[in-house]
Amino acid sequence: MQDQLRKTYDDHGCSRRGFLHGIAGAVTAGPLLDVMTALADEQPAAKPSADKPAPQEKIKLGMIGCGGRGSWIAPLFLRHGGYVIHAAADYFPDAVETFGEKFGVPAVRRFSGLNGYRRVIESGVDAVVIIVPPYFASYHVAAAAEAGLHVWVAKPSAIDVPGCHRLEEANKAAQAHRKVFFVDYQMHTDPVNIEVAARLRRQEAGKIAKISTIGISGGHNDPPKTATIESRLRHGIWSNDLALSGSLIVEYDIHAIDAVIWLLSRRPVAALGSSAICRADPHGDSHDVCSVIFEYEDGLLHEHSGVALPTGAGGELSCRVFCQFGHAVLTYTKKARFHRRGQEPFAAEVENLYEAGAVRNIASFYEDVIAGRCENPTVRRAIDGCLTCILGREAGFRKGRLTMAELLAENKPLEADLTGLKE
């Protein structure tokens, strides 16, 4: 098998590792997946908004990842009116066949196996939507950008430092081709979060003194391992495996940590942490609880707490900001707020962000592609967010302090064993 993969790599003229990372699936985590996957099955036929004419120019999409979130988000692209789904790929043939039947993708442009993603790239699409287990994301992004396609990718887009470097190079390739590279985060698109962040940046409650983020999810089933990792590539099971997910802080908590990167426009310089495996009967090596303190160059402290266990506590992705004279909350659900002591607080509901944020991002991606805007502002923040989460993970695993400079110098990759997987 490895010899055949090497031959295929040589035929394609790409790095052998880049070829190997051709697995597609759905990416999300925690209780949000349970709700939104159910909603995907109830999605009405996609139509443009009645009060807005359908876009005239169509972007031909290739969907790489046809599982839960891939199948859920596809109707949102179609509902926009500016996209058609031209091709699709998933590691699992049944997943791509179901997807193709549902969204009218011809059988000749439904691809499966390890190199299905590359066949989508070569199928005549204008852009790819990449929603795969996190380990594979940066490889798919790099291949698509080098091929001169527009790229949309779900979070997290990298799980190790080499993956972050790969994203940097992919963005250079995208910009050289005058293409858009867009990373799909939602919290910064919400108008209430935007207002709260603006007040914080204006220091209406004084300087920021401390930040606290929380990531709580229900985790995923962690069954016994089989002869290959194929059984880990569905239903979020990969979340339990360090090499496939990057651990809980990288895969799920990144939404809350991204809010800090968005607010501050910078990343930390060090982290001190501890983490552990606490789920019952674990089979993967990903840690499911963590406590990390991030340190910024100016002395600002950001503490993060993560839990991925079926505790019944509900899901949470939030960022609490404590200032000299008040406090604020940026959040994925419920109410965001800003309060300076002695003044009337500002608070409002963050409404349906999982879907609303995706819809806003789909519109932004379309506008950037049509206008030829390839500044790609989401990429830098996404890389900084990934590096921050990776730093927190490594500090937690090592139960100590680690600087960003040390992390970057190590440049340590995470390697998944792809032996025995189908081409």
Percent of the chain residues topping a pLDDT of 90: 86
Distance CA(85)–CA(74), nearest Å, equals 8
pTM: predicted TM-score of the whole model, two decimal places: 0.89
Look at residue 52 in the predicted model and tell me its pLDDT.
65
Cα separation, 423 vs 416, in Å, equals 16
Share of the chain above pLDDT 70, in %: 87
Q: Which amino acid is at 204?
A: E
Instruction: Find the mean pLDDT for residues 82-107.
Output: 98
pLDDT the model gives residue 55: 79
Q: What is the pLDDT of residue 47?
A: 42
Task: Calculate mean pLDDT across residues 367-377.
Answer: 97
DSSP 3-state assignment of 234?
coil
CATH class of 188-357+385-410: alpha beta
Cis peptide bond upstream of 133, omega within 30: no
Q: In the prediction, which pLDDT does 39 show?
A: 31
| Greater pLDDT, 4 or 97 | 97
* Average pLDDT rounded to a whole number, residues 274-278: 98
Q: Which of 80, 48, 68, 14 is nearest to 239 (CA)?
A: 68
What pLDDT does 51 receive? 57
DSSP one-letter code for 290: E
pLDDT tens, residue by residue, 290-332? 999 999 999 999 999 999 999 998 899 999 999 999 999 999 9
Summarised one tens digit per residue, pLDDT across range 380-415 is 999 999 999 999 999 999 999 999 999 999 999 999
CA distance 412 to 383: 16
* Residue spans per domain, the chain: 2-187+363-376, 188-357+385-410
* SS3 state at 183: strand
Residue-level pLDDT at 56: 80
pLDDT at 365 over 70: yes
Domains 2-187+363-376 and 188-357+385-410 share a fold: no
pLDDT at 160 over 80: yes
Q: Residues with Cβ < 8 Å from 202, sequence gap 6 or more?
A: none
Enumerate helices (H) and strands (E) in the chain, giving the number of each: 15, 15
CA nearest neighbour of 241 among 32, 23, 19, 18? 23
Q: Right CATH number for 2-187+363-376 from 3.40.50.970, 3.40.50.720, 1.10.3720.10, 3.40.630.30?
A: 3.40.50.720
14-72 pLDDT tens trace: 333 333 333 333 333 333 444 333 333 333 333 444 456 777 899 999 999 999 999 99
Pairing type for strands 326-331 and 335-340 reads antiparallel
Average pLDDT score over the chain = 90
Handedness of CA 212, 287, 39, 44 (dihedral sign): positive
